[in-house]
Amino acid sequence: MIMNEEEFLAHAGLKTQTLKLWLEQHWLIPERTSAGTHFSDMDVARARLIGELQTNFGVNEEGVDIILHLLDQLHGLRRALDQLHKDL
């Protein structure tokens, strides 16, 4: 599902201010088009993860940054591995 900013905030349970911060940190990278910013279900799931890290696990801002960076690498590796698996 493609959402605009307002719909995304409602789905992810975020405040405008929080979203602004997360976008500045590049924690969320929504698709930007002529018609504005588009958010996907994946962005909602990622926002939920960030929210859980912060509220449930007590991870601070620097911690979230590191976790996301490692997680993105992990998924990069998993994709490469998956591709290898298909190539072999």
Partner 1 sequence: MTNPYEVLGVAPTASSADVQKAYRKLAKKLHPDLNPGDKAAEDKFKEVAGAYDLLGDAEKRKRFDDGEIDATGAERPQHHFYRDFATSDHAQPYTNNSGFADFKDADDALAELLRRSERARANRRGQDLHYRLPIDFVESITGANKRLTLPDGGSLDVTIPPGLVDGQILRLRGRGEPGAGTGGHGDALIEVEVLPDRRFTREGDDISMELAISLPEAVLGGRIRVPTPTGDVTMTVPKGSNTGTTMRLKGKGAPRREGGHGDQFVKLKVVLPKQPDPELEAFVSNWANGKTFNPREDSAP
- The residues that touch partner 1, with contacts defined as CB under 8 A, are 2, 29, 31, 33-35, 38, 40-42, 44-46, 48-49, 52, 56-58, 67, 71-80, 82-84, 87-88
Tally of CB atoms within 10 A around 43: 20
Closest approach, Cβ 65 to partner 1, in A, equals 13
Q: In the chain, which residue ranges form alpha helices assigned H by DSSP?
A: 5-12, 16-24, 41-55, 61-87
Facing residues of 37 across strands? 32
Closest approach, Cβ 46 to partner 1, in A, equals 5
Instruction: Select 56 or 60, whichever has its Cβ closest to partner 1.
Output: 56
